[in-house]
């Protein structure tokens, strides 16, 4: 048996509307679904980014098909998005135009490049080109 891939990951945010504006307007993500607790975003047609309003998932969610146990998170987290080599300079320009500071840059031994910046909740986001990992 083996795991195939990560389908979804989540970040917990203090202001869901503010976070939604950032992920939609700055990163260009399209919402798949939402309610008062969360927003789900399509990332490259291959995975889902969930943004949960911090503290809104502390009770079991009961649905017709089953239940989702409680979960939550605190503190700044890190996640990376895959981008093409040719797209990285365009992303840097887009972030600069939005007034978002790039906090770090890395050139990886396998040839990949990464830039790092923060979302409104302080989560560290990375845009990484191929060559970061042996599998990417």
pLDDT class of 93 with cuts at 50, 70, 90: very high
What integer pLDDT is reported at residue 103 of this predicted model? 98
Contact present, 114 and 127 (Cβ < 8 Å): yes
Alpha-helical runs (H) found in the chain:
16-21, 88-97
Q: Could you give the domains of the chain?
A: 1-74 (3.30.720.120), 75-136 (3.10.180.10)
Residue 100 binned pLDDT confidence (cut-offs 50, 70, 90): very high
> What mean pLDDT comes out for the span 48-66?
95
- Report the pLDDT averaged over residues 15-42: 97
Pairing of strands 66-68, 78-82: unpaired
DSSP 8-class letter at 58: S
Q: What is the pLDDT of residues 119-136, one digit of tens each?
A: 999 999 999 999 999 999
Residues 6+ away with beta carbon under 8 Å from 36: 16, 53, 56
The pLDDT assigned to 23 comes to 98
Average pLDDT over residues 49-69: 95
Q: pTM here?
A: 0.94
Of all residues in the chain, the percent with pLDDT exceeding 70 is 100
**pLDDT class for 6, splitting at 50, 70, 90?**
very high
pLDDT at residue 104, as a whole number: 98
């Amino acid at each position: 048996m083996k795991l195939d891939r990560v389908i979804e990951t989540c970040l917990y945010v203090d202001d869901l509307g503010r976070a939604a504006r950032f992920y939609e307007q700055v990163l260009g993500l399209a919402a798949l679904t939402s309610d008062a607790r969360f927003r789900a975003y399509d990332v490259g047609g291959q995975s889902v980014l969930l943004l949960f309003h911090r503290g809104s998932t502390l009770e079991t969610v009961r649905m017709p098909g089953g239940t989702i146990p409680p979960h939550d998170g605190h503190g700044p987290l890190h996640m990376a998005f895959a981008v093409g080599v040719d797209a990285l300079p365009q992303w840097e320009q887009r972030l600069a135009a939005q007034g978002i500071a790039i906090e770090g840059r890395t050139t990886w031994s396998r040839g990949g490049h990464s830039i790092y910046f923060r979302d409104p909740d302080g989560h560290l986001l990375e845009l990484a080109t191929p060559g970061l990992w042996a599998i990417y």
